[in-house]
Structure 1
Amino acid sequence: MKVTFLFGGKEKAGLFQKGIDEYVSRIRKSLSAEIHPAKKEGAIVRFLDARPRGSYLIGLAEGGKSFTSKAFAGFLHKLMERGTKEVVFLIGGADGFAPGWRERCDAICSLSPLTFSHQLARLVLVEQVYRALSIINNRPYHR
């Protein structure tokens, strides 16, 4: 399975980006993983229009389904067992999702009832995906 992170808004260098890069590097030891920054809405629309069959789009937004780390691992594991070719995680731009994006998602999830900056939300997401893979593969990262 491949994991793609589609991030709306500007990508900023710094500590958050270093953390994101580190966790994506760790994820790549288990799965294929890519980051697609999309500064403008049109880039997200083009990506969504071209996404392959068999991909599963998860939008991250306020009011979405929240998980414990173990439940999130179970959710991803079910997608893997089902033969899902690609899971795409979408974080919208500064104003959230453009009209019609939520309807294109297969699931809407929330990282927390709190609101995070885009950079922090990206870091939390990639860390949780890595944690989920550690749980699935019985690695000691999650204790």
Structure 2
Amino acid sequence: MRITIAAVGRLRAGPEAELVTDYLTRFDRSGRPLGLGPARVAEVDDRKGGGMAGEAPLLRSAMPQGAALWVLDERGRTVDSPDFADRIARLRDDGTRDLCLMIGGADGLDPSLRQEADFALSFGKMVWPHMLVRVMVAEQLYRAASILAGAPYHRA
């Protein structure tokens, strides 16, 4: 199952970009034998003055056709890492070919995208910078693959 992280804004070279690249590389290596991956980031430009409504069609166009859609939203459901891994495994086992994890811009996601989502995921009650959320998603994907493979990365 291929994974797309569709995100508003361009991640400049720096520590966040390095972490995303590192975790997605690890995910690709550990996920391939499990039928997971590759993972990629699809960046869309934030629309100055367009806000969430202007970003929504750009995010939709970055999503692979027929993909399951999970949105990252502070109003979403909080799950632990084993549950996150289990949800990914169920999608894969049900024959889902693509999963899109969508991250909005500074103002979040357009309500229409939240309504279209198959699942809304929250990393807690706190609001996180959207650039940092990319790192967190990439790390959780790697952690999920590690959990599913029985590797010692995740210490439960």
Same fold (TM over 0.5): yes
Structure 1 match to 2:43? 37
Residues of 2 paired with 1:37 and 1:47: CA distance?
Answer: 8
Structure 1 match to 2:50? none
Structure 2 match to 1:3? 3
Give 1:113 shift. 1.9
Once the two structures are superposed, the pairs formed by residues 65-80 of structure 1 within 5 Å of their partners are 65-80=77-92
Structure 2 match to 1:52? 65
The superposition leaves residues 73-129 of structure 1 with CA deviations (integer Å, 9 ceiling, x where unpaired) of 111111111111011000001111124111121111101222111121110111011
Q: Which has the higher helix share?
A: 2
Conserved 8 A contact 2:82-2:147 = yes
User: Percent identity between the aligned chains?
Assistant: 31
Alignment of 1:92 with 2:98, yes or no, is no
Partner secondary structure for residue 100 of structure 1: helix
Instruction: Note the residue ranges of structure 1 that are not aligned, 5 or more in a row.
Output: none
Give 1:3 shift. 0.7
Aligned length in residues? 140
Give 1:56 shift. 0.5
Structure 1 match to 2:51? none
Structure 2 match to 1:127? 139
Alignment of 1:114 with 2:126, yes or no, is yes
Q: Which amino acid aligns with 2:149?
A: N
**CA RMSD for the aligned pairs?**
1.3
Q: Which amino acid aligns with 1:52?
A: Q
What TM-score, normalized to structure 2?
0.84
Q: Which amino acid aligns with 1:47?
A: A
Instruction: Note the residue ranges of structure 2 that are not aligned, 5 or more in a row.
Output: 32-36, 47-54
Partner secondary structure for residue 42 of structure 2: strand
Conserved 8 A contact 1:111-1:125 = no
Alignment of 1:137 with 2:152, yes or no, is no
What TM-score, normalized to structure 1?
0.91
Deviating runs (4+, > 4 A) in structure 1?
none
The superposition leaves residues 37-74 of structure 1 with CA deviations (integer Å, 9 ceiling, x where unpaired) of 111324213234xx322x21000001101111111111
Partner secondary structure for residue 27 of structure 1: helix
